[in-house]
Chains A and B, each alone.
Chain A
Amino acid sequence: MENLLLQVFNGLVNGAFFALLSLGLAVIFGMLRVVNFMHGALYMLGAFATYLLGTSAGVSFWWALVLAPLAVAAVGIVLERLFLRRLYDVDPLYNLLLTFGLTLVLQDTMRLRFGIQGVPYSAPSLLKGAIVWGNLLFPTYRLFVLGFSVLICLLTWWVIEWTRVGMIVRAATENPGLTRALGIDVDRWVPPVFAFGVALAALAGVLAAPMRNVSPLMGADLIVTTFAIVVIGGLGSILGSVVTGFLVGVIVALGAVYYPPVSNTLVFVLMAIILLLRPAGLFGSLE
């Protein structure tokens, strides 16, 4: 029983990464109608930015939590202005291919510079160790990851639901033409929204650096599952992506307890079932 509780906790921690990543994807897809394939690569850049800030400028993990996402978001804006925006008017498939190509470029650039094996990074001393509670053990760093990502998800939800900016984003997501007709410059909001989605991916990367291998391919392994989560949650649904992110984290963890070989496949089984029963996803609605 205690074991099971721990496994659920762990599933939620892994789910936190999925939630941050799929939330960023959902925000970008909603506003830009772009399936951002390079999301995993941006997550990887976030982790490398943390490492680079630490080794070359002595920036602590805490500052990296702010600075790394900003740095990667800046890269995101440059890519959006230079490449992505040229393809908004054609079939969305073109941007999918473009971002796929950019993924390869980003991965191989890091591979050339840092090799494939990865670079070392460890958690700040404040978050090392574990909190023991009876027979239960929660690594401090994992508790922090869970708390911090829940906070970020709530914050995002609040901004989108309750602020003027959020209202514009929602309106533009729902019906860009009508929003424009009401005198709102939708295009002006595209770069900041894209940058925000990118920053979320980079933030997940920062959080991953102390507990996972920081290597050029770390995002490639994650992105496929993240796409499945977005599909299960409902394309473009903010709430759907977050809830499904945590849910899938728990499912994968519990799968590994009982029968490890299938744990990674479970996500796709779930996706197939959801697509059959609710084609628009758990929280999506058919347009």
Chain B
Amino acid sequence: MKRWGVLVGAAVLTIALVAPAPSQGQVRLTSGKIVIAVLNDQSGVYKDLSGPTSVEAVRMAVADFEQQFGKFPGPVEIISADHQNKPDLANVKAREFYERYGANIILDVPTSSAALAVAEAAKELKRLYINITAATTQLTNDNCNKYTFHYAYDTYMLANGTATEVTKKIGKNWYIVYPNYAFGQDMERSFRAAIERSGGKVLLSDGTPFPNDDFSTYLIKARTLRPTMHVLGVMQAGGDLVNFVKQYNEFGLRSKGVNLAIGLLFLSDVHALGVQAFEGTLYTTPWEWVLDKQSREWADRFLARTKVRPTFAHAGNYSATWQYLSAVRRAGTDQPDAVVAALEGFRFSDFFARNAEIRRQDHRVIHDAYLARVKAPSEVKEPWDYVEILSTIPAGEAFQPLSASKCKQ
């Protein structure tokens, strides 16, 4: 009897080894297709940094993935909508995507308040959601849930990178100017904490109206602040950031030794204002197209398709789409709980995310981040060549440590 058991066991093992594992073969699709929804700003202030070109990046990822691994048993549809950066609209659209269009996953979603609204919908309807362009750490803290992942960056990463490095290397005294709404307040808190952790001091911080077209008041304050400040930390984004930097140059603060550190900077911002305006500015970024050969190759293909060089949001959307499809393959199904299980704890490295790990506990995707500097006009060698990578912040240090996470799933 015992021998029989061994024989049967051996036979089962042999079959298991010889027969292809389900993940290598057929993927079962619950409704015969995969629907990927991109929800972002298609007309407002964040259009250029993500918007319709991110939808194109997702298309590109699906095409590349199917070319490499073969077609899925059903079509992969890509749908998109404009949430106009409004949380209520984002919530309605997300529900429509999940319920009416059967979306398997929602991607992108800039603007923190809108991003949090979509996380609620994902949690309630038990469908996947990978956020790329929103900055709030709440997605992986108070508002974390089983179906929500945060992919590219967050305010902790930005503040930790820039504030720590700049305080250590350039100067200890900071003056922070931030737009007075959720994102700006979040950034101010994160920067202040990181500055104080690394021995610096925040002399003053001012919350400004939003939107605002004149910042001269704060620039004059910066000149006359005592004791002398070294770093002006600016948390504005989009058009307000452009206004700020134009006026910073006008008041000649750079020649007074006041360095400019920017909370969140996209390649599209530098492109809009011209490299000379941002010259010397320091900031933290999850990716830049000039990073290395692999990134450049991808950026070249992206340029050929869209006529623009990608921001990190575009690259992040591509990478996240790829990781989702690869998780579906590993799980052998598009069933949400199985895909979540395949994503959790997964480690990978692609052109966008290096040394990446999708943390099981809070769904923060950690990966290397970079401290970057905007080049001087004389250093620019080709169109869109605006950025120099100064140093790499290893994945393990770049993001909020798990011990500090408030996530209770």
Taking Cβ atoms with an 8 Å cutoff, the residues of A that contact B are 2-3, 6-7, 10, 13-14, 111, 115-120, 122-123, 129-130, 135, 137, 139, 141-142, 210-213, 215, 217-218, 221-222, 253, 256-257, 260-261, 263-264
Contacts and interface: CB of A to CB of B under 8 A. Distances in A.
B43 A111 contact: yes
B27 interface: no
A215 B217 CA distance: 22
B112 to A, nearest CB: 19
Contacts of B180: 260-261
A260 B277 contact: no
B197 interface: no
A14 B250 contact: no
Q: Could you say which of B47, B250, B269, B276 has the most chain A C-beta atoms within 10 Å of its C-beta? A: B250
A143 to B, nearest CB: 11
A115 B48 contact: yes
A3 B47 CA distance: 38
A253 B211 CA distance: 15
B243 A119 contact: no
- Ranked nearest first, the 9 interchain pairs of A and B with the lowest CB-CB distance are A213-B242, A120-B274, A256-B217, A117-B272, A264-B209, A10-B216, A117-B48, A139-B250, A213-B239
A14 B214 contact: yes
B239 A217 contact: yes
Contacts of B346: none
Contacts of B214: 10, 14, 212, 253
A213 B252 CA distance: 18
B238 interface: yes
A118 B49 CA distance: 12
Given A116-B239, A211-B247, 10 more contacts: A10-B216, A117-B242, A120-B272, A120-B277, A211-B246, A212-B243, A213-B213, A218-B213, A218-B239, A256-B218
Chain B contact residues: over half helix, strand or loop, or mixed?
Answer: helix
Q: Could you say which of B240, B251, B269 has the most chain A C-beta atoms within 10 Å of its C-beta? A: B251
Contacts of B45: 116-117, 217
A221 B211 contact: yes
Contacts of A221: 211, 213
B206 to A, nearest CB: 5
A139 B274 contact: no
Contacts of B243: 212-213
Q: Could you say which of A115, A116, A135, A221 has the most chain B C-beta atoms within 10 Å of its C-beta? A: A116
B223 interface: yes
B142 to A, nearest CB: 25
Interface string B207-235: 11101111011101101100000000000
Interface in B74-93: none
A76 to B, nearest CB: 23
Interface in B37-53: 43-45, 47-49
Q: Could you say which of A120, A129, A213 has the most chain B C-beta atoms within 10 Å of its C-beta? A: A213
Nearest to B242: A213
Contact of B250 (A111, A118, A120, A141): A141
A2 B252 CA distance: 17
A116 B47 contact: yes
A122 B272 CA distance: 12
Contact of A118 (B211, B218, B220, B239): B239
A210 to B, nearest CB: 8
Contact of A117 (B206, B269, B277): B269
A119 B246 contact: no
Nearest to A5: B220
Contacts of B212: 264
A264 B206 CA distance: 14
A228 to B, nearest CB: 14
B252 A215 contact: no
B273 interface: yes
Nearest to A217: B239
29 contacts: A3-B221, A6-B220, A13-B216, A111-B43, A116-B44, A116-B47, A116-B48, A117-B238, A117-B239, A117-B242, A119-B272, A122-B274, A122-B277, A129-B252, A130-B250, A130-B251, A211-B246, A211-B247, A213-B239, A213-B243, A213-B246, A218-B239, A253-B217, A256-B218, A260-B180, A261-B180, A261-B209, A263-B217, A264-B212
Nearest to B41: A116
B268 interface: yes
Nearest to A255: B217
Given A117-B272, A120-B273, A260-B209, A215 B239 contact: yes
Contact of A260 (B208, B213, B252, B269): B208
B365 to A, nearest CB: 27
A256 B102 CA distance: 49
Interface in B107-144: none
